[in-house]
Amino acid sequence: MRITQAFTFEAAHRLPHVPKSHKCYRLHGHSYRVELRLEGPVNPNTGFVIDFFDVEHIFGPVLKQLDHYCLNDIPGLENPTAEHIAQWIWQKIKTDLPLLAAVLVYETPHSWAEYLGD
C-alpha cells in the first residue's frame, strides 16, 4: 500500500549558482508543498500503513525549520533547489520514517522534484 501526506510552508530563497541574469538568482519566495509518500503493509488491527498523526509528529519539527525562513540560511540548504530540499528532508526524517518511499517538493503547482532515496 502507498500513502501520501502533504504539508505546506512559505519560504524565501535564492539560487546562488545560476547566472546573475537568471531571475532565481534574486531573493524571492514560494508557497512550497511537500508530499511524503510511504509504502508498507496495512496493519490488520489499525487499518493503517502508519497513522497520519505519527507522520505529522515526525515531520513537524523539520517543517518548523523551513516555514517562514530564508532557506539559504539553513545549514545544508545553502543552494536550496527543489532537488536539494527534497534530499535534505529525506535525510532528516528517513530514520524515524522507515516506510518513507519518496519526498516530493513543489515550488509551484507545475514544477517539483521527487526524491526516491539513495
The pLDDT, as a whole number, for residue 31 is 98
Question: How many domains, in total, are found in the chain?
Answer: 1
Within the chain, which residues score under 70 in pLDDT?
A: none
Which residues are the active-site residues? 24, 68, 107
Q: By residue range, what is the domain housing residue 20?
A: 2-30+37-115
CATH code for the domain of 95: 3.30.479.10
Pairing between strand 100-108 and 69-70? unpaired
Q: What does the alpha-carbon distance between residue 19 and residue 46 come to, in Å, rounded to a whole number?
A: 52
Detail the residues annotated as belonging to a binding site for Zn(2+).
Answer: 13, 28, 30
**All three cell numbers of 3:** 500513502
Pairing between strand 111-115 and 100-108? antiparallel
Detail the residues annotated as belonging to a binding site.
Answer: 13, 28, 30
Rounded (5°) CA angle 25-27-33: 100
pTM score of the predicted model: 0.96
Q: CB within 8 A of 57, min separation 6: which ones?
A: none
